[in-house]
Structure 1
Amino acid sequence: MDEAIILATRKRLVLDGYSRMALGDIAADAGVTRPTLYRRWPGKFELVVDALDYGFKAQRDTYPSLNLDDLPATEALTEAVRRLDPAYFNPDAMVLMGNFMGETIRTPELLAIVCEHAVEPRVNLMERVLKSLQDRGEVRRDIDTRTIASMCFGSYFAAFLRNDTERAGLAEKVVAVLWPGIAAETNKT
């Protein structure tokens, strides 16, 4: 029952956004009553936080089990860029993120949760991979890993906003453009 409620909440977040989303609609979509919702969650905000965490965990669980430190440099970098994709698991993730960005004035804590649970872990992973590649001598030491990670993350938003349907190969394209500028002199080929 909890999963049905969580999935209904995620659907309503995409369709209605947080402000317009109604617990009655979620209950109807999940096939439960409003009192059932309130026995499990004190309010809409707490339910949404759990629905977001459900999605974040599900996304992490879909990543291939790879030790990025063991991969060749461009493969590790490509996989790290691929894992930046908000829609890696959920094709509606970009709409959800847009909804939360639009809610910043009314409910800033929602975007803070998205940043803490979805954005920062992805960007931090990308930074860790870049730093590991620096330690291995494969990436220049003078690069700003935070800026590069942010640019790579932003490439998914740019592709979404430009209605680029070729997002499946975006990680490879980003790395192909990025690699010559960040590779250590001995690894430019």
Structure 2
Amino acid sequence: MEAARPVSDNGVMMDSQKAILEVGAAAAASRGGRPRDPALDDAIITATRRRLVLDGYSKMTIGEIASDAGVSRPTIYRRWPGKLELTIDALDYGLRAQRDTFPNLRLEELPALEAFTEAVRRVDPRYFNPDAMVLMGNFMGETIRTPELLAVVFEYAVEPRVKLVERVLADLQRRGDVRADIDIHTIATMCFGSYYAAFLRAEHDRNVLAEQVVAVLWPGIAAQ
């Protein structure tokens, strides 16, 4: 099923935001020239992620990123058309890096309770990046100034995590381990939101949060 697209405050689908992402992807795919140095790419992405946390998107500049990465501004512009495309790659880098740190487990082969708990653990925005909550707060603060960032966050930082929980719950439904009538979308959203609530309540022991959330939800969703 196609993921629902984000909507603006007046309910209009943000097709322009989707178009911006598509343009950025097309620009990245069409870039040619000399072979790129992966070490430089990593340094630029790392510097971008740091600047996003420290400065936020609006105040972040290509010049500061170049200085932090030890490269020139033209070096960055040969790789990315602008700040938005660089931010997209920085978010995608974080998601891929998080996936690389996951334990080598096949969730579909785990017992039901273990599979659900592991999915909830992986939905944690700070699983890989301890500054993820600050980063996400900066992005949400840009909603008015730079509304197209909402589509970037939705596609690269929210949906891949929430969809993981939805896929695991759908698989457990097929296996007969959870009730067929549960609202998978809402449950996955609650799991994702629990990490934000814990952060705002200064409950920083994330090691037990997945188990705590599952302990509350499981009795209501498990098949009888």
Query: TM-score interval w.r.t. the shorter chain?
Result: over 0.9
- What's the offset of the Cα at 1:118? 2.2
User: 1:113 matched to which residue of 2?
Assistant: 152
User: 2:125 matched to which residue of 1?
Assistant: 86
User: 1:156 matched to which residue of 2?
Assistant: 195
Range with greater deviation from structure 2 (3-12 or 127-136) = 127-136
Matched, 1:13 2:44: no
- What's the offset of the Cα at 1:27? 1.0
Note the residue ranges of structure 2 that are not aligned, 5 or more in a row. Answer: 1-39
Q: Quick one: distance in 2 between partners of 1:124 and 1:41? A: 28
Q: Which has the higher helix share?
A: 1
User: 1:145 matched to which residue of 2?
Assistant: 184
User: 2:10 matched to which residue of 1?
Assistant: none
In structure 2, what residue type is equivalent to 1:105? I
| Structure 2 contact 92–156 (Cα < 8 Å) conserved | yes
Q: Quick one: distance in 2 between partners of 1:117 and 1:165? A: 24
In structure 1, what residue type is equivalent to 2:58? S
Query: Of 178, 181, 187, which aligns to 2:217?
Result: 178
Q: Quick one: distance in 1 between partners of 2:62 and 2:170? A: 45
User: 2:170 matched to which residue of 1?
Assistant: 131
User: 1:32 matched to which residue of 2?
Assistant: 71
Identity of matched residues, %: 75
TM-score, scaled relative to structure 1: 0.94
Instruction: Give the length in aligned residue pairs.
Output: 185
Deviation beyond 2 Å, 4+ runs, structure 1: none
Q: Quick one: distance in 2 between partners of 1:3 and 1:42? A: 17
Q: Quick one: distance in 2 between partners of 1:56 and 1:114? A: 11
| Structure 2 contact 88–156 (Cα < 8 Å) conserved | no
Matched, 1:97 2:142: no
Map Cα deviations across residues 39-84 of structure 1 (whole Å, 9 max, x no partner).
2222111111111111111111111121111101110000010111
Q: Quick one: distance in 1 between partners of 2:166 and 2:86? A: 31
RMSD: 1.1
Range with greater deviation from structure 2 (120-129 or 80-89) = 120-129
Q: Quick one: distance in 2 between partners of 1:3 and 1:22? A: 17
Query: Of 190, 199, 208, which aligns to 1:169?
Result: 208
In structure 2, what residue type is equivalent to 1:93? A
In structure 2, what residue type is equivalent to 1:170? L
